[in-house]
Amino acid sequence: EDCVILFVGGPASALGKRLGMRYGSSCTVVYADPQGQPEWRPLDVTAALMQRFNAIDRIQSAQTIGVVYGTVAVHGFKEVHDRCSRLIRSTGRKVYSMVVGKLNQPKLSNFAHVDVFVLLSCPQSFLAVDMKAYPVPIVCPYDVEVAFGAREWDMRYILEFDELLETSAGTASEEHLQSDF
């Protein structure tokens, strides 16, 4: 569905990235820079989507996945954690849950045996992470569901826990999300 969004700020800001990831290329955004003229242009999320696609590839080849608590205060945190952990276990992979406080590269380096980290956090915190600073991918629960076939890739990127829980995964693998292990 086409849409137009008026956004006061630049395309490189965290909120600009969030809009791009959420609405993909189906929206036109008016970037209104307070110091300049508003400019109309489609969101360019190609690089971000390619990075996510690469991360999904890495999830599929991972044998050990760490679930990192970025927050426990977001509504739906426990349900998303449980759903994500069950899905990972259902594929025969090892899953470790961990609290590391403020996410940084030296802390995650202590877990050298982990191939991918799933960050459970609010969307702003997830998008603020500089993914290039980490030796292994930092992904979100949506990436995990896509990687393991529990959800179809549809160019919409779901970062909010409530929306992730409300939307059906929609494939035969949904039984993995519901069963207890």
Nearest to 148 by CA among 60, 57, 68: 60
Nearest to 157 by CA among 21, 18, 65: 21
Are 143 and 55 within 8 A, CB to CB?
yes
- Amino acid in position 152: E
pLDDT in tens, 84-100: 999 999 999 999 999 88
pLDDT in tens, 127-176: 778 888 888 999 999 999 999 999 887 767 788 888 888 876 554 344 44
Strands, E, within the chain: which ranges?
Answer: 3-7, 27-31, 39-42, 64-69, 94-99, 116-120, 138-139
Q: How far is CA 170 from CA 60, 114, 144, 164, 177, in A?
A: 19, 29, 14, 12, 11
pLDDT in tens, 36-80: 676 666 666 677 778 888 889 999 999 999 999 987 788 888 999
Predicted TM-score of the model (pTM)? 0.78
